[in-house]
Amino acid sequence: MKKFYNPTRSEWSEILKRPTQTVEDIEETVNQVFAEVKAKGNDAVSKYTELFDGINLEETRVSKEEVSSAEFQISEDLKQAINLAKTNIEKFHSAQKTERIEVETTNGVKCWQEKRPIQKVGLYIPGGSAPLFSTILMLAAPANIAGCKEIVLCTPPDREGNVHPAILYTAALCGVTKIFKIGGIQAIAAMTFGTENVPKVYKIFGPGNQFVTVAKQLATRHNVAIDMPAGPSELLVFADDTANAAFVASDLLSQAEHGTDSQVILVSNSKELIENVEAEVENQLNDLPRKSIAEKAIAHSRLIYTEDKNDALELINEYGPEHFIICAEDETFYTEGIQNAGSVFIGNYTPESAGDYASGTNHTLPTNGYAKQYSGVNLDSFMKSMTFQKISENGIREIGPAIKLMAEAEGLQAHKNAVSLRLKELRTK
């Protein structure tokens, strides 16, 4: 990990640069797959599943029998853990429900807002070396609470054409309506356009590699919304002398093992802690099954010493981390001062992995600095707000003259007429 001591503000942009790669070649591939899936549907999906996943499937939809048998392929302990996480996630997201908001803005002018669920949502769940069944909890559970009628899940098959049983078990538990053995670009394209088998959805959620990320962005050009721009996972920790170096190192490595393009950063006002954390990272790294992945991520990660806590906070807000851990005596300074972060974890006994799995908060979060303008997934992500208004005769008398003047000033005569005709009729009563 590279070390920096009291870097100047002019150096921050270079130090905080993400290890992102060019997407020009990726976009060309994504556009090609999208065009074929749009034109050829299932045939194109099968072609690219064989090309990218190495399996030719006659049927991509997961059968009821496969879902039923999955329950017996995972341990009771894991099922209990999944159920505990589901309970906590449902508690936290259910608490986010809001009631109808109604106000009479002027005498006789009643306005109100109500929320409606997005009817059809698509979930993308990566498979591969790390089948992220926990992401199903984070997406399907709030989708159900919101009242989404159709919840479509796509996930890549393995070389034998199977889906990890924990993914199937969790999907069934959380009320997913249809599951497909489709991964990567072709999955996003299938949910964008719809095929003979896969329904077209209105909004797509879920993480993925750079190909999936670019595919989701392309989907927005075809009248499909996405949860947020997302990229490689990242974590920033602020820790002082009150922090446990072993804990901090474990948190850094927990994000580094996600992928070679993940990034982890430690900011501290203690040089001793930085040295201790660096040593702990080396020690703990040797015991990780995904050591080769974590090593590459650690290579482009950062250890930053800042003497002044105001500079530290400003630097953190400039970075806008996906995950932000605070292990500091003056934790209030950072909790009150943080403006840009996807999710915040406070104290020595609050590991980032708690949010990934079972505390109740959502782990689908903005990366690559998008925490400056995007929220993580929440209940409202699966809903949209609709406004209503009803105006009485007295109400249109009250606001009608103002509407007429404003419409005339903008040169919109038909707008003015829509009010004038009503006011004219009322004058005859």
pLDDT, tens digit, 9 for 90 and up, residues 291-300? 999 999 999 8
CATH value at residue 243: 3.40.50.1980
Among 381, 379, 343, 380, residue whose Cα is nearest residue 93: 379
Whole-number Å distance between alpha carbons of 67 and 185: 24
Q: Which residues are annotated as a binding site for substrate?
A: 233, 255, 258, 323, 356, 410, 415
If asked whether residues 180 and 237 sit together in one domain, one would say no
* Residue 380: predicted pLDDT: 98
> Among 182, 201, 226, which residue terminates a domain?
226
If asked whether residues 148 and 235 sit together in one domain, one would say no
Q: Is residue 376 part of a domain?
A: no
Active site residues: 322-323
Q: Is residue 368 part of a domain?
A: no
* Residue 21: predicted pLDDT: 60
Whole-number Å distance between alpha carbons of 179 and 163: 10
User: Is residue 252 within 8 Å of residue 264, measured between CB atoms?
Assistant: yes
Residue 312 token pair? 């530290």
- The phi, psi pair for 360, rounded to 5°, reads 130, -25
3-class DSSP state for residue 214? helix
Mean pLDDT of 310-318: 98
Q: Which residues are annotated as a binding site for NAD(+)?
A: 124, 186, 209
* Residue 218: predicted pLDDT: 95
- Quick check: 40 pLDDT over 80? yes
- Quick check: 129 pLDDT over 70? no
If asked whether residues 88 and 185 sit together in one domain, one would say yes
Q: Is residue 365 part of a domain?
A: no
CA torsion sign for 166, 172, 176, 182 is: positive
Q: What angle do CA 291, 347, 308 make, to 5 degrees?
A: 95
User: Is residue 202 within 8 Å of residue 225, measured between CB atoms?
Assistant: yes
Whole-number Å distance between alpha carbons of 176 and 122: 10
If asked whether residues 88 and 212 sit together in one domain, one would say yes
- Quick check: 224 pLDDT over 80? yes
How many helices (H) does the chain have, and how many strands (E)? 17, 14
3-class DSSP state for residue 69? helix
Q: Is residue 53 part of a domain?
A: yes
pLDDT digits (tens, 9 = 90+) for 351-404: 999 999 999 999 999 999 999 999 999 999 999 999 999 999 999 999 999 999
Q: Is residue 61 part of a domain?
A: yes
Please list the residues that pair with 154 across neighbouring strands.
124, 180
* Residue 334: predicted pLDDT: 98
- Kindly give the residue spans of alpha helices, DSSP state H, lying in 257-330: 271-285, 291-299, 309-319
> Among 169, 198, 226, which residue terminates a domain?
226
3-class DSSP state for residue 78? helix
Task: Identify the band that residue 106 occupies on the pLDDT scale cut at 50, 70 and 90.
Answer: very high
* Residue 5: predicted pLDDT: 96
Q: Which residues are annotated as a binding site for Zn(2+)?
A: 255, 258, 356, 415
* Residue 210: predicted pLDDT: 84
Q: Is residue 354 part of a domain?
A: yes
> Among 314, 339, 360, which residue terminates a domain?
360
Domain count, the chain: 3
Whole-number Å distance between alpha carbons of 375 and 228: 8
CATH value at residue 423: 1.20.5.1300
User: Is residue 106 within 8 Å of residue 398, measured between CB atoms?
Assistant: yes
If asked whether residues 250 and 324 sit together in one domain, one would say yes
Whole-number Å distance between alpha carbons of 90 and 372: 26
If asked whether residues 214 and 270 sit together in one domain, one would say no
If asked whether residues 210 and 267 sit together in one domain, one would say no
Q: Is residue 384 part of a domain?
A: no
Whole-number Å distance between alpha carbons of 255 and 262: 7
If asked whether residues 178 and 211 sit together in one domain, one would say yes
Task: Identify the band that residue 230 occupies on the pLDDT scale cut at 50, 70 and 90.
Answer: confident
Q: Which domain holds residue 408?
A: 392-427
If asked whether residues 181 and 261 sit together in one domain, one would say no
pLDDT digits (tens, 9 = 90+) for 182-214: 999 999 999 999 999 999 999 999 998 889 989
Whole-number Å distance between alpha carbons of 93 and 177: 20
Q: Is residue 46 part of a domain?
A: yes
Task: Identify the band that residue 22 occupies on the pLDDT scale cut at 50, 70 and 90.
Answer: low
If asked whether residues 204 and 65 sit together in one domain, one would say yes
How many Å is the Cα radius of gyration of the chain? 26
How far CA 228 is from CA of 133, 203, 206, in Å, comes to: 20, 10, 9
If asked whether residues 273 and 301 sit together in one domain, one would say yes
If asked whether residues 221 and 253 sit together in one domain, one would say no
- Quick check: 261 pLDDT over 80? yes
Whole-number Å distance between alpha carbons of 183 and 190: 10
> In the predicted model, what is the mean pLDDT of the chain?
95
